[in-house]
Homo-oligomer: A and B are copies of this chain.
Amino acid sequence: MDADLRALRERLAEIADLARAGGVLSWDQKVTMPPGGHPARAEALATLSRVVHEKLVDDEVGHLLERLRPFEESLEYDSDDASLIRVTRRDWEKQRRVPTELRVELTRAAALGNQVWIEARATNDFARFLPALQRNLELKRRYVECFEWEDSPYTPLLDDFEPYMRTSEVTEVFGTIRPVLAELVREAPRVDASFLEQPFAVGGQEAFCKRILATLGLEEGSYRLDPTVHPFCTSFSTRDVRMTTRYNETGLDSLWSTMHEAGHGHYAHGIAPSLERTPLATSPSLGLNESQSRTWENLVGRSRPFWLHWYEPLQETFPTQLGDVDRVEADETTYSLHIILRFELEQQLIEGSLDPKDLPEAWNAGMVDLLGVEVPDDSHGVLQDIHWSQGGIGYFPTYALGNVISLQIWASVREAIPDIDAQMEAGELGELAAWLRDNLYSLGRKLTPKETIERLTGTPAIDPQPYLAYLSEKLAALPSHA
């Protein structure tokens, strides 16, 4: 038993190391790599994914898992070892269905698509991006064919990001929030946010982002923040967390983008050390992970108490721009609607009812329909986001699910830390970070998403009501400038 467990752990540690190596290569590709490096990087990433896949789907892993079944059943369900065996078994069974060559092609196409997207976005040229998108979609459809599904061919893609969830469940949640959000958007008072539409020196933004970041409870020397075209967060251990943000010449979006990535960073940072170099050293789902980026971005970073503390320092950093403006608010409502649109279009692409070449038109029509927004050009429309370029189909719904889940968990936070508002107003975020670490982040991927949500909130259901209530209250509190 001991020998089997040790053998399994060794194999999984090796796989984790190789997957992390792939993570470093991807980070470097987006943050530091000179553009000439793209073709070779795509090959290196493809090879790493081949080796990882071969090692994971190996027969011997299956034998070890089978022999470890009695041991697993003798342990507590949520013990490290039982969870490791259980979660690995699901991964193994799932990955065994995917031919290695397909896995390699998916990785290569994603790496190459990423570069094409950067060029297409910069030149507002959807046609240039189209072949890469078609290639990624074609591979995704071949991937879907490796699995069975009941409701939609989209479900196997969703499962990569939101395990155990079916497309129909997402449709149901979105069906509840969509009309409410649409109404909120129509009826919301127009906020005068024109003071944000001015130039803010990039150096000042960067210094301020790093200053806030240093107060969020992340251990010094365990993270870094870099600029990228599309902000993201990745990690190579709990003490090597890489966040990125985007400094626009105009506006202060970099602040919320930094807070957002800090939420992902907190998750990676808070995983229990005993789970390092295992497949459990991540979050149970992207939805849960997004719930935390949304927690730090919105529930903290767009809250009144947080800005009661930080607005004065911000004014001091940018006295010309903010000297005579006395508050910062920003809009969270439209975000989930934009996600719902992505979700709907993704399903159509995968089901084959939308041709990728018609995507810009469908995108623009959806933006008018859902949000009343005229898209100026493809760079600010269908090409705005990175995920489709790297084969990230099935990822988008987790953003909106994250918004919903963040409010469910936030209710538990308020119960556990009744003076959370006062703490935020004092600029103190340590207790919040520690509570989330102890009760959520440290669990890693030991439990399923719903088991994890149940442990924190008492119910496994994804309940949109707290989220909708939060938005209504927040919008109601805004002074009307109409």
Q: A residues engaging B (CB < 8 A)?
A: 13-14, 17-18, 20-22, 24-25, 27-28, 31-37, 39-41, 43-44, 46-48, 50-51, 219, 221-224, 226, 236-237, 239-241, 276-277
Contact = CB atoms under 8 A, between A and B. Distances in A.
A40 B224 contact: no
A302 to B, nearest CB: 28
A172 to B, nearest CB: 40
Contacts of A21: 21-22, 24-25, 44, 47-48
B51 A239 contact: no
Nearest to A29: B24
Contacts of A28: 24, 27-28
A221 B38 CA distance: 11
Nearest to A18: B47
Contacts of A37: 222, 236-237, 239-240
A34 B277 contact: no
Q: How many monomers of this protein are in the complex?
A: 2
- Grouping DSSP codes into helix (H, G, I), strand (E, B) and loop, the A interface class, with mixed when no group exceeds half, is helix
Contacts of A219: 36
Given A24-B25, A25-B21, A40-B20, A240 B34 contact: yes
A39 B14 CA distance: 14
Contacts of A237: 36-37, 39-41
B34 A221 contact: yes
B276 A34 contact: no
A257 B222 CA distance: 30
Nearest to A14: B47
A139 to B, nearest CB: 20
Contact of A240 (B20, B33, B222, B224): B33
Contact of A239 (B40, B44, B224, B239): B40
A35 B17 CA distance: 18
A45 to B, nearest CB: 8
A240 B43 contact: no
Given A17-B43, A43-B17, A36 B236 contact: no
A236 B42 CA distance: 11
Closest 8 CB pairs of A and B: A37-B240, A36-B239, A40-B237, A17-B47, A36-B222, A17-B44, A35-B221, A21-B21
A41 B27 CA distance: 15
Contacts of A24: 21, 24-25, 28, 44
B34 A222 contact: yes
8 contacts: A20-B40, A24-B44, A31-B32, A34-B241, A36-B219, A40-B240, A40-B277, A41-B236
A223 B33 CA distance: 8
Contact of A44 (B20, B39, B40, B44): B20
A34 B226 CA distance: 12
A441 to B, nearest CB: 16
Contacts of A48: 17-18, 21
Given A32-B224, A36-B237, 19 more contacts: A13-B47, A17-B43, A17-B48, A21-B25, A24-B25, A24-B28, A24-B44, A34-B221, A34-B239, A34-B240, A35-B221, A36-B219, A36-B239, A39-B239, A40-B236, A40-B277, A41-B236, A43-B277, A44-B236
